[in-house]
């Protein structure tokens, strides 16, 4: 599974999971888009972190007896990590408002939920336990404190490369004494 397919799968299942908990008005966007997207005022973002190959590549070779083509299939398990965080302006007068931290904790629960794990497993993607939620703050463009809570999680998937080569059908030996 390539990076774009994985991002689409994660976003789709985050949206479905949030909807199961009644949150249907929160956009989910992948951060660092190749096109300028700007910041959305109230949004759940996810960013790709480094990938880690796990173990050695597994190699399997087969030869087609009719064409004598040898196919080499190499499979690598990859652990891809993501960070998810919410940006939500806080209204101190609205006591029922879900804060950025509330929405991030909810997103963490979605990632750890059985429906999310089942959906990713059905696509041959494993899900590892997410990290704790961090809650750092920053000063926004209006000189107000704003919170940017986030957590990390890792999924495992396979990447495969396939190469076909012609088989040797005869060998000519011309060995001479020197």
Note the pLDDT tens digit of each residue in 11-35. 999 999 999 999 999 999 887 766 6
3-state helix vs strand vs coil in the chain, percent to 5: 20, 40, 40
Question: pLDDT per residue over 160-174, tens digit each?
Answer: 999 988 766 677 777
Task: Check if the beta carbon of residue 29 is closer than 8 Å to that of residue 13.
Answer: no
Q: What length does the chain have?
A: 178
Distance in angstroms (rounded) separating the CA atoms of residues 136 and 93: 22
Distance in angstroms (rounded) separating the CA atoms of residues 57 and 55: 7
Q: Is the pTM of this model over 0.85?
A: no
Question: pLDDT per residue over 57-91, tens digit each?
Answer: 999 999 888 888 889 999 999 999 999 999 888 88
> DSSP 3-state assignment of 172?
coil
Which domains, ranges and CATH numbers included, belong to the chain? Answer: 3-54+78-158 (3.30.70)
Output the pLDDT for position 108. 97
Strands (E) in 37-149, as ranges, are 43-63, 69-87, 126-127, 137-139, 145-147
> DSSP 3-state assignment of 103?
helix
DSSP state of 95: T
**Mean pLDDT across 123-127:** 95
Distance in angstroms (rounded) separating the CA atoms of residues 43 and 28: 6
Query: Alpha helices of 22-171 — where are they, by DSSP H?
Result: 100-112, 114-122
**Mean pLDDT across 42-60:** 92
Residue from 172, 143, 13, 9 nearest 80 by CA: 9
Measured CA distances, 22 to 2, 26, 135 (Å): 31, 10, 23
Output the pLDDT for position 39. 65
């Amino acid at each position: 599974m390539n990076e774009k397919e994985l991002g689409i799968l994660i976003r789709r299942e985050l949206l479905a999971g949030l909807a199961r908990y009644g949150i249907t008005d929160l956009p989910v966007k992948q951060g660092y888009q190749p096109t300028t997207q700007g910041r959305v005022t109230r949004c759940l973002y996810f960013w790709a972190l480094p990938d880690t190959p796990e173990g050695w590549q597994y190699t399997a070779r087969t030869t087609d007896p009719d064409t004598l083509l040898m196919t080499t299939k190499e499979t690598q398990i990859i652990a891809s990590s993501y960070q998810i965080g919410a940006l939500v302006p806080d209204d101190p007068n609205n006591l029922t408002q879900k804060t950025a931290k509330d929405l991030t904790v909810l997103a963490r629960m979605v990632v750890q939920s059985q429906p999310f794990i089942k959906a990713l497993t059905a696509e041959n993607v494993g899900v590892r336990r997410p990290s704790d939620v961090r809650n750092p703050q920053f000063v926004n463009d209006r000189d107000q404190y704003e919170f940017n809570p986030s957590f990390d999680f890792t999924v495992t998937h396979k990447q495969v490369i396939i190469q076909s080569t012609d088989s040797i059908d005869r060998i000519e030996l011309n060995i001479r004494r020197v």
